[in-house]
Amino acid sequence: MKIHKRYISALVALLFAVPVMAQVPAPAAKQSKPMLFKGATLHIGNGQVIENAAVGFDKGKITYAGPQSGANLSGYEVIDVTGQHIYPGLIQPNATLGLNEVESVRATIDWREVGEMNPNVRSVIAYNTDSDIIPTVRANGVLMTQLTPVGGTISGSSSIVQLDAWNWEDAIVKADEGIHLNWPSMLIETGNSRNDERLKRMGEEREKTMLEMEKLFRDAAVYKSGKQSNENLKLSSMVGLFDGSKKLYIHANYGKELIEGINFAKKQGVKDIVVVGARDAVAVVDFLKANNVAVIYSGVHALPSRAEEDVDMPYKTPYLLHKAGVPFALDYDLAIHGIRNLPFIAGTAAAYGLDKEQALAAVSLNTAKILGVDKQVGSVEVGKDATLVVSTGDLLDMRTNNVTYAFIQGRNVDLNNKQKYLYEKFENKYKAQQQQVPASATSAAGN
């Protein structure tokens, strides 16, 4: 059978082109010269907006952020972005990005350890900087994440990383900043006698878990005092909980579980508590405020928890938390492929009560404060890392979000990704097919 040379050439080109184009872009080189963007609307991240602004940065740090009229352009490479918007890079908390690639392929999943009590597990050492998903997230303005282990009762420690690095060591912004505790679910009696025995067994198991957890915290407190001479990795990893150098992230949703978990942590002497998930946060908002507990809210695009709740409750919970004065941030739960939609859940919150700049803060500066990295990132201010994005439209609106530049620590990040490549590939394919349709066929179809 004869094969036309044209098809052989096309096949060879495809074999060479696909692997190259589908690769994760290489990390950007360090900033080599001062840069300044002028003419944009600047959304600082702290609620302030400056029209016709300028942002300059050098050696990875912001040197100027304010009105264009006050900027010194001398020595800077000036880029005119008139009509566009400058935002701080968005931060996704509570994520397994880089720890989980393809859920149906076990070898690509590295987000949990065997066992129930693993405070010494470090999620960051399993971080895969070559994940295909990371570039798709950056393209929508999400430039940092909190690597969070899952599973068991105490999953391990999380770390904050930036999303443009050769390896996990280069990616670290703040290592091992908190321990994650999945609060044991409370049992609800159903009145069904067939479930009595099962509920009894579950209750006994929960009681056992609570006792083990209490013992571990008590032992860690003793270990901190220096009364144990032998090194214990599990206990040493928890020492920071008692002096405030580490946070305790309690994952729970039900209101009574939130109260129970916070009371437990305070009883053990934990200094800094954050609740994650917190679907019932509004129901216990006074308790959260009284105990100075921050919230990482995961349910903006979820259904209401109960049939009798307002269908809009998940959308307006961020506004209600803000109104009550509870520190909060938003996350896209653990669905890694959805993290690119982080700006749009903030946009939903803005449509249901939050001011647009408050919504932006909920995925930037508020998150940075809760995670303890606000001195470095979270807002476009002088002295902070030049981790920012430029968009032709509103970053929080799915219709207008179009990131044209992204910088991480002053490095110009490549915004190409596998999804863009596939989009362009098939767009070109169908355009070519349309051009090949004879004019007679088009007119016949019209008739």
Average pLDDT estimate for 420-439: 83
Measure Cα distances from 331 to 129, 237, 254, 297, 393 in Å.
21, 26, 18, 6, 22
What contacts 207, CB < 8 A, 6 or more positions away?
A: none
Tokens in use for 259? 């109260």
Q: Supply the pLDDT for residue 286.
A: 96
Q: Supply the pLDDT for residue 4.
A: 54
What spatial distance separates the first Cα and last Cα of the chain, rounded to whole Å?
Answer: 40
pLDDT tens by residue, 170-227: 999 999 999 999 999 887 665 565 667 778 888 889 899 999 999 999 999 988 887 6
pLDDT tens by residue, 42-76: 999 999 999 999 999 999 999 999 999 999 889 99
Q: Of 63, 62, 72, 66, which is closest to residue 52 (Cα–Cα)?
A: 66
Task: Tell me the C-alpha distance between 145 and 162, whole Å.
Answer: 7
pTM: 0.89
Exposure on the CB side of residue 309, measured as CA atoms within 13 A: 16
Query: Looking up tokens 């002088």, which residue turns up?
Result: 382
Radius of gyration of the chain (CA): 25
User: pLDDT grade, residue 445 (50/70/90)?
Assistant: low
Q: Supply the pLDDT for residue 190.
A: 59
Percent of the chain with pLDDT over 70: 88
Q: Of 399, 402, 413, 358, which is closest to residue 163 (Cα–Cα)?
A: 413
Task: Tell me the C-alpha distance between 382 and 385, whole Å.
Answer: 9
Residue type, 32: S
Q: How many residues does the chain have?
A: 447
Q: Of 229, 223, 220, which is closest to residue 270 (Cα–Cα)?
A: 220
Q: Supply the pLDDT for residue 113.
A: 81
Give me the helices (H) in 225-341, please.
233-236, 255-267, 285-290, 313-324
